[in-house]
Structure 1
Amino acid sequence: MEYILIIIAFLFIIKLLAKVDKLEGSIKRMQYTLDQLTQQSGLPENPINDELRKLIKEGEDIKAIKKARETLGLSLLEGKEYIDRLKSDNR
């Protein structure tokens, strides 16, 4: 009986991980679409990005992540990804 419960839990976890992976893909596609729309519409970039780029250039990535989190209301992971994206855009 215990083995059946373990197998069911394992299958449930696998299904959940598959759904999370699918959701992450959807979010990445939406972010790409938003980036494209922003570029095409000529909307100005978020003013905080200049300050974040300055911190990145000074090697203050952690301060940049903290500032992005405080200003934009991001989680730690989202803040790091935001800063990484700004870093890759600068290259």
Structure 2
Amino acid sequence: MEYTFVSVVLIIFIYLTFKVNKLEQNVKQMKHTLEQVTKGGEILEHSVDDRLYELIQEGKDIKAIKEAREALGLSLLEGKEYVEALKDKINNS
């Protein structure tokens, strides 16, 4: 019974740690965007975009989505939409 309780507490702790890290990534990204907006400039492309363009051109969309998610703190859907937007930008150029 004690081991079960300790296991549950440990799982909750790991889950909460993961969620806090994800929130920190999101806040970091929002802070970066907000700094660009308050400086009066347009929102520039992210520094990770060059790498994502390379992966897209190599046909490695899934890897591009994964790297976008990690670098920008996006959900799976947001990462896919972000990469799709970059692909559209390449195709319209």
TM-score for the superposition, normalised by structure 1:
0.50
Asked which structure has the greater CA Rg, the reply is 1
TM-score for the superposition, normalised by structure 2:
0.49
Higher relative contact order structure (alpha carbons within 8 Å, sequence separation ≥ 6): 2
Tell me which protein shows more helix as a share of its residues. Answer: 1
